[in-house]
């Protein structure tokens, strides 16, 4: 096969695997107002911890802080990007981060114990956007059906102005936080000198992680995967974690990254054409040899 023919075949195959590779927005995410926040947070004495919520322009921040008597503070900070575009299938896009800054608290103090993370994103596209469905849930419910389930929880508002319910991803995470004694024995997490701390979250509705959503964009099938990495800002899916637990060493910082990745799902006919093309290339190669 000459170089020109190979280039044509490669271009045809690439078109099958990713029909939209231009800068047009395949999928757009907008943070829904009043989401991207910590809520219903309690310390180990059962007292509320009030989150500090700040609009940073390009992102929205929600922060929890707890301190010892000397003023040394640990914190948990959620930062959600307010507007995110995916222009190319296969490329991960950062949606948010949760940063745990774990300082060594010197005096006995009430610390973070539990709370919730309420998140919401509207989806849109420059192309036609069909009904999205959760792949791993029984019956493959639509985005709107799961959003309505989240809004039916007593911990969320019954109405959410600004939410495009049929095209929104709403989530409610219940989390627990275990701030161990520095000299805990035995230490349940990591290095016992001093003992590390752990954050664990559980998603309402038992939605498995990573989250997978089937989408139809401009009559083409795609799979949207929302996944997390720990201390890896590259969005390499090979480093995705399968749960929402992370451990932070004393005096260190842990960052939980949340990414979205859109993958084209070829139709069976397209896969057949591609397979025939590859077989033809192999046969031609054998004849030429």
Number of Cβ within 10 Å of residue 43's Cβ equals 19
pLDDT at 1: 37
Per the prediction, the chain carries an average pLDDT of 83
pLDDT at 280: 56
- The stretch 114-120 carries a mean pLDDT of 96
- Asked whether 122 and 207 are in contact (CB, 8 A), the reply is no
Residue 216 has pLDDT above 70, yes or no: yes
- Among 143, 160, 141, which residue's Cα sits nearest to residue 151? 160
Residue 21 has pLDDT above 80, yes or no: no
pLDDT at 274: 47
Share of the chain above pLDDT 90, in %: 60
Query: Domain for residue 5, yes or no?
Result: no
Identify the residue whose tokens are 């929104």.
168
Q: What is the pLDDT of residues 25-72, one digit of tens each?
A: 899 999 999 999 999 999 999 999 999 999 999 999 999 998 877 778
pLDDT grade for 248, boundaries at 50, 70 and 90:
confident
> What is the Cα–Cα distance from 232 to 226, expressed in whole angstroms?
15
> What is the Cα–Cα distance from 211 to 207, expressed in whole angstroms?
7
Residue 279 has pLDDT above 80, yes or no: no
Query: Domain for residue 96, yes or no?
Result: yes
Identify the residue whose tokens are 């802080």.
65
Q: What is the pLDDT of residues 124-140, one digit of tens each?
A: 999 999 999 999 899 99
- Among 52, 66, 64, which residue's Cα sits nearest to residue 105? 66
Query: Domain for residue 198, yes or no?
Result: yes
- Provide the terminal-to-terminal Cα distance of the chain, rounded to the nearest Å: 11
pLDDT grade for 214, boundaries at 50, 70 and 90:
very high
pLDDT at 27: 97
Instruction: Give all strands of the β-sheet with 252-264 in edge-to-edge order.
Output: 52-55, 59-67, 73-81, 93-102, 252-264, 220-230, 211-217, 133-134
Query: Angle at CA 143, nearest 5°, toward 139 and 146?
Result: 70
Structural domain harbouring 215 = 25-288
- Among 10, 1, 35, which residue's Cα sits nearest to residue 168? 35
Total-model pTM? 0.82
Please give the residue that has the higher pLDDT: either 113 or 106: 113
**Exposed / middle / buried, residue 164 (Cβ in 10 Å: 0-12, 13-18, 19+):** middle
Query: Angle at CA 170, nearest 5°, toward 166 and 173?
Result: 160
Count how many residues are written for the chain: 289
Query: Domain for residue 33, yes or no?
Result: yes
Q: What is the pLDDT of residues 188-199, one digit of tens each?
A: 656 556 667 778
Structural domains in the chain (count): 1
Please give the residue that has the higher pLDDT: either 274 or 81: 81
Query: Domain for residue 16, yes or no?
Result: no
Number of Cβ within 10 Å of residue 42's Cβ equals 15
**What is the DSSP track for 223-243?**
EEEEEEEES-TT--GGG--SS
Q: What is the pLDDT of residues 144-171, one digit of tens each?
A: 999 999 999 999 988 899 999 999 999 9
Query: Domain for residue 2, yes or no?
Result: no
Query: Domain for residue 13, yes or no?
Result: no
Query: Domain for residue 14, yes or no?
Result: no
Cα 32 to Cα 72, 118, 121, distances in angstroms: 34, 10, 5
């Amino acid at each position: 096969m000459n170089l020109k023919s190979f280039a044509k075949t490669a271009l045809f195959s690439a078109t099958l695997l990713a029909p939209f590779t231009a800068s047009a927005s395949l999928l757009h995410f907008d943070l829904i107002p009043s989401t991207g926040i910590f809520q219903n947070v309690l310390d180990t004495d059962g007292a509320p911890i009030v989150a500090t919520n700040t609009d940073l322009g390009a992102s929205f921040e929600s922060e929890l802080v707890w301190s010892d008597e000397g003023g040394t503070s640990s914190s948990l900070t959620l930062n959600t990007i307010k507007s995110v575009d995916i222009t190319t299938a296969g490329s991960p896009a950062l949606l948010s981060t949760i940063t745990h800054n774990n300082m060594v608290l010197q005096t006995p103090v009430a610390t973070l114990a539990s709370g919730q993370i309420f998140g919401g994103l509207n989806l849109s596209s420059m192309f036609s956007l069909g009904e999205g469905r959760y792949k791993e849930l029984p019956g493959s419910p639509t985005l709107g059906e799961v959003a309505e389930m989240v809004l039916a929880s007593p911990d969320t508002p019954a109405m959410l102005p600004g939410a495009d319910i049929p095209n929104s991803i709403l989530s409610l995470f219940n989390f627990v936080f275990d701030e161990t004694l520095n000299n805990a024995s035995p230490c349940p997490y990591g290095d016992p000198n001093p003992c590390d701390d752990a954050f664990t979250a559980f998603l309402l509705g038992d939605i498995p992680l990573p989250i997978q959503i089937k989408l139809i964009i401009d009559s083409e099938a795609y799979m949207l995967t929302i996944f997390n990495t720990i201390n890896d800002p590259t969005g390499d899916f090979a480093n995705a974690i399968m749960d929402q637990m992370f451990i932070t060493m004393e005096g260190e910082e842990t960052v939980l990254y949340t990414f979205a990745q859109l993958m084209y799902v070829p139709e069976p006919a397209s896969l057949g054409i591609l397979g025939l093309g590859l077989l033809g290339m192999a046969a031609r190669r054998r004849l030429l040899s």
